[in-house]
């Protein structure tokens, strides 16, 4: 049986000095009648999703996105993440912006497929 949660991973960074991260979340997505889309998530622990070797387990606090379909589409998102691990938080967070760029790129693709 597969884990009923969403597992998200980030690659290693800085020549593998920063280990790859994994996050296990339960995610709710909903589209409203006006076309507004909501994606909300929070960290969960589940027996079918044990920590994997070679990944540092990160922790997402409650987070989400609203995508409002108006000219120039508006996106409101909020994240609060503990990336985990033993390196100083400032060092680990230095690679986080690149991960967020990847997230928004994937979100853009997902929204386009929902509109189709």
Per-residue pLDDT at 2 exceeds 60: no
Dihedral angle sign, alpha carbons of residues 81, 83, 27, 25: negative
Residue 13, pLDDT score: 74
- 17 domain-assigned: yes
Per-residue pLDDT at 35 exceeds 50: yes
- 1 domain-assigned: no
Contact 5, 42 (CB under 8 A): no
Average pLDDT over residues 49-76: 82
Residue 1, pLDDT score: 45
Alpha carbon distance 112, 116 (integer Å): 6
- 68 domain-assigned: yes
pLDDT band at 59 (very low <50, low <70, confident <90, very high): confident
CA 28 from chain centre, in angstroms, equals 13
pLDDT band at 57 (very low <50, low <70, confident <90, very high): very high
pTM: 0.67
Per-residue pLDDT at 52 exceeds 60: yes
Main-chain dihedrals φ then ψ at residue 108, nearest 5 degrees: -60, -45
Average pLDDT over residues 11-24: 82
- Domain membership of residue 29 as a residue range: 6-115
State the number of CA atoms in the 13 A half-sphere of 7 facing the CB. 16
Count the domains in the chain.
1
**105 or 20: which carries more pLDDT confidence?**
20
Residue 49 sits in a domain whose CATH number is: 3.30.530.20
Average pLDDT, the chain: 78
DSSP E strands, 12-114: 21-31, 37-43, 56-57, 59-60, 63-68, 74-78, 81-82
């Amino acid at each position: 049986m597969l884990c009923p949660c969403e597992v998200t991973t980030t690659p290693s960074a800085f020549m593998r000095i920063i280990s790859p991260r994994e996050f296990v979340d339960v995610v709710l997505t909903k589209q409203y009648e006006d076309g507004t889309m909501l994606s909300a998530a929070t960290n969960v622990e589940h027996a079918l999703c044990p920590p994997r070797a070679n990944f540092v387990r990160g922790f997402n606090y409650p987070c989400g996105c609203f995508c409002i379909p108006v000219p120039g589409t508006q996106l409101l998102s909020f994240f609060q993440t503990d990336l985990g691990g033993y390196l100083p938080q400032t060092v680990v967070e230095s690679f986080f912006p690149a991960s967020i760029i990847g997230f928004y790129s994937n979100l853009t693709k997902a929204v386009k497929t929902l509109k189709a």
